Structure 1
Amino acid sequence: MSGNTLAIEHVSKRYGDVTALDDLSFEVNPGEIFGFVGSNGAGKTTTMRIILGVLTADGGSVSLGGRPVDLDVRRTIGYMPEERGLYPKMKVGEQLTYLAELHGLSRSGARAAVARWTERLGIDHRLGDTVDSLSLGNQQRVQLAAALVHDPAVLVLDEPFSGLDPVAVDVMSETLVEKANTGVPVIFSSHQLDLVQRLCHRVGIIASGRMRALGTVDELRGGAGTQLLVHAPAAPDGWSDHLAGVRTLDRTDGRTVLALDPGVDDQDVLAAALNTGPVHEFSRHRPSLTELFREVVAG
C-alpha cells in the first residue's frame, strides 16, 4: 500500500444474531474511484459508517495511508451520508463555513473554500438561502460541498446520485473525477449501476455482508464465463433448455442471452437456434454491470 490508500481489512459487525459484515476486505487506492454496490441491507452503509468511525467494528481494522482511523484521520475524510445531514433552517454559506471551520480551517480559509466549491458546483448564487428552500438537487450539491470544503484526503459518499437530474449527475460525476485525478481515493455506493460502470475504476459487489465480487468491470465479465446473445425471432421459450451446460439469463423480444459452462461447444447452441428458424444474430455477449450484479447476488 502507498499514499493515502484506504484499507478495510477483515472487518466484521454483528447486531445480535444478525451478521451485518462478515470478514470484509478491500482497498481504495489513491486516485481511484471505487464503486460499492449491493442490495438494500447488504452492508454498504454499515461499512461506510465504520470507515468514518461512527460505528465500531467487532473485528478487523480500517486505515488510511497506513494509519488507523482515529479522530485526527476522520477530520481528513469527506463524507456524504445517504440521509442528508444539513441544518435545514441555516443559510448555505453560513453552514458550509461552519462545517469547514469544524475541520480546522481558519475563518478566512473556510470562506475562500466555500466560495470555490459553491462556484464549482453551481450554487454560489444560493449562499444566502436556507437549505430547506432549495430543490433536492441543490441540497445534494450543498451536501457534496460540505464533503469537499476542507480538501479531504479521501471521499466517502453514500448514494450521492440519488434523485439527481441529469445535469446535476454530470456535475457530481465531473467533480468526483476531478478529485480522483488529484490522487484522492473516492468510494461511493449507488443503485445506479450504469453510472458506476461509467465512472469507476473498480467495483465491489457486496451481498449479506460479504464481498462477492471485486475488480474492474472487465475482470468481473471474465469471471462470468462465456455468454452468447442469440436473436432467433421464431424460437419458442425454452428452446435451449435441452442443451447441457447452457443456462438462459435473459430473453426479450426474441433475443436470448445464454451462459455456457466451460467446454460447451457454441456451435451446438447455433445448431439448436437454427432448428427453430432464422438466426439474425449470434455473438459473444459482454454483460453489463447490472447483469453481473444480478448474477452475483442470485448466486
Structure 2
Amino acid sequence: MNTLLTVANLKKSFKDKEALKGISFEVYRGEIMAILGPNGAGKSTTIRNIMGIMYPDSGEIHFHQQSGKGIPKSKIGYLPEERGLYKDVKVMDILLYLADLKDYPLDKAKERIFMYLKKFDLEGKENTSVEELSKGMSQKVQFIGSILHEPELLILDEPFSGLDPVSQEVFKEEIASLAANGTAILLSSHQMNLVEQMCDRLFMIQHGEKVIYGTLDDVKKQYANFKCVLHGENPPALLEKIPEVDRIEYSGNRSILHLPKGIIPHQWLKQLPNELDVQELHINRISLHEIFIDIATDKHLVSQEGGS
C-alpha cells in the first residue's frame, strides 16, 4: 500500500480533558477510510490537527515525508462540518477565490468549475450569490471548492448531511471516482449505511482512544456475529428453546435471534423446531450501525473475537 498520511501516537488535551490518547492510523492513496465515533469522541480534534488548525501536544502527523507546519495545504482538500461560504459572493467568485488560496491556476480552475457545476446540476448558477442558493446547493458549491484544486488528500466531515437522496448518490459517485483516480479520502460521517457502502477501511474512536481499525471485513469478523431475523407468530417460550442463541429481541411478529461466535448458519438452521411459524427468515451479520451503537453507548452486547 502507498501510504499518503500517517498519524502516529497523537495526543491532545484541553485543560483537564484528554481529547486524544495516543491514536495512530494511516491513510493510503486511492482508498476511502472512515473516521468514526460518537460526538465528543475526538474525531474533529483529529481532523483539525491534520489540517493544522491546531497542533497536538505530542505525536506526529506525516504527509508524504513532510510533517507538522510543513504539510502543504495546497495538497489537501477539506469539507468541514460547519459550512462557511461568504453569502453575498457569487458562486464563480467564491470558487475562484478558494482555488487561488490553494495556488491552483485560475484558468484551469474556471474550466473545472463549469464542469462541476454541470455535474452537480448547478449549471447556470455561476453568477448566483451564495445566499440565493438552497442549503443543498450551497453544500454542493462547498464540496466543489474542496476538490477543485485536485487534492491528493481529501477530508470530508459529514458530507452527506442535509442532502436529498439524489444528491447523496451524486456525492457518492464523485467520491468513489476521486478514490479510483488515486485521491486518499478520509471520511467522517454518522450515516453508517453510507459508510458501509463506500469505505475500504474504518478507524473508530471512543473516549479519545482507538476501538476499531481495519477493513470492513476485518471489523465484521471481529465484532459482527450473525443474527437471524424471523417473521411469524411465535411465542417467546418456543423461541427460547432454540439452542445456541445469545439473546432475543421481540417486536410484534418479528423476532431477532442474536447468535454466538463460531456459529455456522446452515448448520444452526437445522436445529429450528418444526412447529416454528416462518413467514420470512433471513440470516446476516449485524450492521455497522449496530456495532457503532453498541460501542458508542458502552453496552458491550456485541461480543468480540475471543470474547463471550
For 1:238 and 1:209, the matched residues in 2 are separated by 43
| CA shift in 2, pair 1:265/1:149, >3 Å | closer
- Residue 113 of structure 1 aligns with an amino acid whose one-letter code is R
C-alpha deviation, 1:225, in angstroms: 5.5
Partner of 1:184: 183
Determine if the alignment matches structure 1 residue 199 to structure 2 residue 201: no
C-alpha deviation, 1:114, in angstroms: 2.3
Offset from partner CA, 1:208-229 (integer Å, 9 cap, x none): 2222112222221111254231
C-alpha deviation, 1:243, in angstroms: 8.6
For 2:248 and 2:12, the matched residues in 1 are separated by 34
CA contact (8 A) 1:2 1:65 kept: no
Deviates more, 1:14-23 or 1:74-83: 14-23
| CA shift in 2, pair 1:100/1:137, >3 Å | same
| CA shift in 2, pair 1:242/1:50, >3 Å | farther
Offset from partner CA, 1:149-207 (integer Å, 9 cap, x none): 11111100100000101111111111111110111101111111111111111122222
- Residue 50 of structure 1 aligns with an amino acid whose one-letter code is N
| SS of residue matched to 1:27 | strand
Determine if the alignment matches structure 1 residue 98 to structure 2 residue 80: no
CA contact (8 A) 1:114 1:149 kept: yes
TM-score, length of structure 1 as denominator length: 0.87
| CA shift in 2, pair 1:54/1:81, >3 Å | same
In percent, how many aligned pairs have the same letter? 33
| CA shift in 2, pair 1:130/1:59, >3 Å | same
Partner of 2:216: 217
CA contact (8 A) 1:270 1:282 kept: no
Partner of 1:117: 116
For 1:136 and 1:296, the matched residues in 2 are separated by 32
C-alpha deviation, 1:41, in angstroms: 1.5
- Residue 2 of structure 1 aligns with an amino acid whose one-letter code is N
Determine if the alignment matches structure 1 residue 127 to structure 2 residue 126: yes
C-alpha deviation, 1:61, in angstroms: 1.4
C-alpha deviation, 1:239, in angstroms: 6.7
Unaligned runs of 5+ residues in structure 1 are none
C-alpha deviation, 1:278, in angstroms: 3.5
How many residue pairs align between the two structures? Answer: 297
| SS of residue matched to 1:196 | helix
C-alpha deviation, 1:230, in angstroms: 5.0
For 1:107 and 1:152, the matched residues in 2 are separated by 15
CA contact (8 A) 2:38 2:206 kept: yes
For 1:153 and 1:141, the matched residues in 2 are separated by 20
| CA shift in 2, pair 1:238/1:33, >3 Å | farther
For 2:128 and 2:98, the matched residues in 1 are separated by 16
Deviates more, 1:61-70 or 1:137-146: 61-70
Deviates more, 1:37-46 or 1:281-290: 281-290
For 1:64 and 1:258, the matched residues in 2 are separated by 46
- Residue 55 of structure 1 aligns with an amino acid whose one-letter code is M
Partner of 2:306: none
- Residue 25 of structure 1 aligns with an amino acid whose one-letter code is S
| SS of residue matched to 1:87 | coil
CA contact (8 A) 2:224 2:291 kept: no
| SS of residue matched to 1:170 | helix
- Residue 147 of structure 2 aligns with an amino acid whose one-letter code is L
| SS of residue matched to 1:143 | helix
Determine if the alignment matches structure 1 residue 42 to structure 2 residue 41: yes
C-alpha deviation, 1:281, in angstroms: 6.1
C-alpha deviation, 1:35, in angstroms: 1.7
Q: Following superposition of structure 1 onto structure 2, how do residues 1-299 of structure 1 map, counting pairs within 5 Å?
A: 2=2, 5-71=4-70, 73-224=72-223, 226-229=225-228, 231=230, 233-237=232-236, 246-248=245-247, 250-262=249-261, 274=273, 277-279=276-278, 284-297=283-296, 298-299=299-300
CA contact (8 A) 2:63 2:71 kept: no
- Residue 9 of structure 1 aligns with an amino acid whose one-letter code is A
Partner of 2:304: none
For 2:151 and 2:181, the matched residues in 1 are separated by 11
C-alpha deviation, 1:249, in angstroms: 6.4
C-alpha deviation, 1:257, in angstroms: 3.2
